[in-house]
Amino acid sequence: MNTQEVRQDTVAILGLGKVGTAVGFLLRQAGYRIVAVAGRSKASLTQGIVYTGGKPYLNFSEAALTANCIIITTSDDAIAYVCKIISSEGGIKPGTKVIHMSGAGGLDLLESASDAGAHVASIHPLQSFADVEGAIKNIPGSTFGITSEDEIKQWSVQMVRDLGGIPFFISDADKSLYHAAACIASNYLTTLIYMVEEIYQSLGLSREDTIRAIWPLVMGTIGNIESKGTVQALTGPIARGDAGTIRKHAEALRHKLPDLLQAYSALGILTADVGLKKKTLSPETARLIKELLK
């Protein structure tokens, strides 16, 4: 299936948050016909339609009726509900393509559309979206996890490519695990930097000064991971087997910031396993560090 065949579809986007608005903008740029957009508030529609075009609707079923490709980009918890509503109100015709973009949700969220004769898929961008402009910038070049019925697998791949993305298939059963890994890579990384901010604030630095101070270190580490892989990129006291330094860290956190000690210890135990794989940490010292951190 080529781009021209996919672009023949008329598209309705249900939910004009950051993802829906950015995806609508990029599809429109790629030549797709966005005929309808729907949201729960006039304010979101007014803001989003500047990017997406299309006729605005407050009623999801009315918007769905105008298109043969429906993209549901509401919050994850609302996907199944919205799909059930538009299915029960006749918004889905046999042969319609219905897509959601949840990372954790499977095709079961679109069961009511499938029962109505639609072909269903999940197309999830492996990316973090803080705002619409950032999403528009970051989606191209991102990997997309595709979970799809056979009938529209190649159609889904072409849509991802038209968004500038890199497609790969993920089974329905593995969606939750796939999304957990994505959350660790993005959300938990954010929390790790938050932990650093908390520590440095306790020493008198502002959050802004902290970011300025650590950012070369963070970016250098990311560059090392990209070029060398995680195992070879590991440096620091655990990789060196410096148990005395780890003891000092734990004692300092216990004394001054005890709420961070459990997270530090859990990460340290996992880091010891990485150190063993790098072969710079002996099994005996790894056991000692793990006992220390327990």
Query: 18 with 64, same domain?
Result: yes
Instruction: Look at residue 41 and tell me whether its pLDDT is greater than 90.
Output: no
Query: 213 with 275, same domain?
Result: yes
CATH of the domain at 209: 1.10.1040
* pLDDT band per the 50, 70, 90 thresholds, residue 130: confident
Instruction: Look at residue 112 and tell me whether its pLDDT is greater than 80.
Output: yes
For residue range 239-267, what is the model confidence (pLDDT) as tens digits? 999 999 999 999 999 999 999 999 999 99
Return the structure tokens found at 284: 């005996």
Mean pLDDT (whole number) for 34-50: 91
For residue range 173-203, what is the model confidence (pLDDT) as tens digits? 999 999 999 999 999 999 999 999 999 999 9
Query: 164 with 214, same domain?
Result: no
C-beta pairs of 129-134 under 8 Å, 24+ apart in sequence = 129/18, 129/19, 129/22, 130/18, 131/18, 132/18, 132/21, 132/22, 132/25, 132/51
CATH of the domain at 141: 3.40.50.720
Query: 222 with 196, same domain?
Result: yes
Query: 206 with 84, same domain?
Result: no
For residue range 200-225, what is the model confidence (pLDDT) as tens digits? 999 999 999 999 999 999 999 999 99
Q: Where are the beta strands (DSSP E) in the chain?
A: 10-14, 33-38, 55-57, 69-72, 97-100, 119-125, 143-148, 166-169
Return the structure tokens found at 26: 């990029």
Quote the pLDDT of residue 1: 60
Domain that holds residue 209: 178-293
For residue range 56-86, what is the model confidence (pLDDT) as tens digits? 999 999 999 999 999 999 999 999 999 999 9
Question: What does the mean pLDDT of the chain come to?
Answer: 94
Our count of domains for the chain comes to 2
Query: 103 with 204, same domain?
Result: no
Query: 283 with 149, same domain?
Result: no
Instruction: Look at residue 7 and tell me whether its pLDDT is greater than 90.
Output: no
The residues, ordered by sequence, that sit 6+ positions from 266 with a Cβ below 8 Å of its Cβ are: 293
* pLDDT band per the 50, 70, 90 thresholds, residue 140: very high
Query: 129 with 155, same domain?
Result: yes
Query: 164 with 42, same domain?
Result: yes
* pLDDT band per the 50, 70, 90 thresholds, residue 4: low
Mean pLDDT (whole number) for 96-109: 95
For residue range 12-36, what is the model confidence (pLDDT) as tens digits? 999 999 999 999 999 999 999 999 9
Whole-number percent of the chain with pLDDT over 90: 92
Query: 157 with 70, same domain?
Result: yes
DSSP line for 145-209: EEEE-GGGHHHHHHHHHHTT-EEEE--GGGHHHHHHHHHIIIIIHHHHHHHHHHHHHHTT--HHH
Query: 110 with 249, same domain?
Result: no
